[in-house]
Amino acid sequence: MILVKRRAVLLSLCVSLIAPAAWAATPSSPAYFPPKGDWSRKTPAQLGVDAGKLAGAISYAQAHETERAKDFSDQRKTFGEPLGSLPGKRAPTNGVVIYKGYVVAEFGDTHFVDPTYSVAKSMLSTVAGVAVRDGRIASLDQPVGRIVTDGGYASSRNAQVTWKHHLQQESEWEGSLWGKNADFIGRDAFGAGERKPRTLGAPGSHFEYNDVRINRLALSLLRVFGQPVPDVFQEQVMDPIGASNSWKWVPYTNSYVEMDGKLVASVGGGTRWGGGMWIDSWDMARFGYLWLRGGNWDGRQILPPAYVKAALSPSDHGPDYGYLWWLNTKGKNLPGLPPTAYAALGAGSNDIVVSPEHDLVIVWRWHAGNPAEFAKRVIEALPKQ
């Protein structure tokens, strides 16, 4: 995978035509799946979308760019001492709207390959789903240490951590990885994300958004597959859905382990300390569309339907959180959107919002405010259900 030359893209609006199904995982009529390197666009007249409201939604998105530094000079202050590289600059706000499988709108430089921060967590969830599909993980309720024997689960506490605990961010895993301790104490290491000391609970008893523990999950998935997680993601997910070759999952400079006599990179679940998933808006949209279609891509079931259903069900202790996906069953994470809506959210903000009730996928990058504000304006432009 190589980083392609970035090119500027001017604002363009286009609206798409769709067969009459409203939801998505198994449409009543054949769903459109974009071929590699292309995505069909339609006009507003073909779709019955209010072109004025749609244009207003795009104008709103363009006017609400993040205040994050374009040269990433705020990275250390925000997240702490980095472990990996960052690009020299980021793109301005940009995005893609996919309605009923077709391109509804695009704006900004949607081909700019940027870190997508914690959207990578939802991608790790997808890799875990592939492991379940292939029987590499027999049960998500199984303790990870039963099959991952590298010492990371040797303590009595960590021996209780299951795959589901990791996926729901309720593992309470204790230890350090790649020079960062899971307790998140210390401004030098964790920047504005440092927290006060607290007593750990039993695994499965407490939600904590914690990149060290997610990086431990990523390393455990590397052990389970016996090959780098980015290779699995490319072969089992991104190639089948027709993604480009421009994305790359960048490791930290010190996140290498020995496997079969070779040093292999373990990737992270974000860009908190550099590295992470670098990707453009189009490939993010394909990834979101895969989940909208229930893990199926043009007849190929990439993720087990039962896994997708479980991944989009809230955990016991999280703030409306599934398997590394943000949910909206309580209407709080994505205010004004249906309770079935969900999102992959990354710092910056870099977001994928999926609304099955509207057969809608929205990618909005480097913006300010809740992504639901843009989504609500797009939905207002769509034909009434």
Q: Is residue 71 part of a domain?
A: yes
Q: Is residue 254 part of a domain?
A: yes
- The reply to whether 285 and 376 lie within a common domain is yes
- The reply to whether 190 and 96 lie within a common domain is no
* Segment 121-141, tens digit of pLDDT: 999 999 999 999 999 999 999
- The reply to whether 177 and 107 lie within a common domain is no
Kindly tell me if the per-residue pLDDT of 11 is higher than 90. Answer: no
- The reply to whether 86 and 212 lie within a common domain is no
The pLDDT assigned to 13 comes to: 41
Q: Is residue 1 part of a domain?
A: no
The pLDDT assigned to 14 comes to: 40
Q: Is the peptide bond before 122 cis (omega within 30 degrees of 0)?
A: no
CA distance 65 to 45: 30
Q: Which of 232, 265, 298 is the last residue of a domain?
A: 265
- The reply to whether 286 and 259 lie within a common domain is no
Give Rg (Cα) of the chain.
20
- Residue whose C-alpha is closest to residue 344's, from 360, 366, 321: 321
Cβ distance 324 to 291 under 8 Å?
A: no
- The reply to whether 136 and 75 lie within a common domain is no
Kindly tell me if the per-residue pLDDT of 259 is higher than 50. Answer: yes
Q: Which of 214, 230, 265 is the last residue of a domain?
A: 265
Q: Is residue 4 part of a domain?
A: no
The pLDDT assigned to 18 comes to: 30
- The reply to whether 247 and 369 lie within a common domain is no
- The reply to whether 144 and 192 lie within a common domain is yes
- The reply to whether 99 and 127 lie within a common domain is no
For the domain that residue 350 is a member of, what is the CATH number?
3.40.710
Cβ distance 237 to 126 under 8 Å?
A: yes
| pLDDT-based confidence at residue 46 (cuts at 50, 70, 90) | confident
- The reply to whether 99 and 136 lie within a common domain is no
* Segment 157-179, tens digit of pLDDT: 999 999 999 999 999 999 999 99
- The reply to whether 25 and 83 lie within a common domain is yes
The pLDDT assigned to 362 comes to: 98
**Into how many domains does the chain fold?**
2
Cβ distance 14 to 41 under 8 Å?
A: yes
Between 19 and 277, the higher pLDDT residue: 277
The pLDDT assigned to 28 comes to: 53
* Helix%, strand%, coil% for the chain, nearest 5: 30, 15, 55
Q: Is residue 271 part of a domain?
A: no
Kindly tell me if the per-residue pLDDT of 22 is higher than 60. Answer: no
Q: Which of 240, 265, 290 is the last residue of a domain?
A: 265
Kindly tell me if the per-residue pLDDT of 315 is higher than 90. Answer: yes
Kindly tell me if the per-residue pLDDT of 4 is higher than 70. Answer: no
CA distance 140 to 136: 11
CA distance 314 to 322: 5
Q: Is residue 190 part of a domain?
A: yes
Q: Domain range holding 195?
A: 121-265
pTM over 0.95: no
Please state the rounded mean pLDDT for residues 217-221: 98
Kindly tell me if the per-residue pLDDT of 27 is higher than 80. Answer: no
Q: Is residue 310 part of a domain?
A: yes
Kindly tell me if the per-residue pLDDT of 326 is higher than 60. Answer: yes
| pLDDT-based confidence at residue 239 (cuts at 50, 70, 90) | very high
Between 80 and 12, the higher pLDDT residue: 80
Please state the rounded mean pLDDT for residues 265-270: 98
Q: Is residue 319 part of a domain?
A: yes
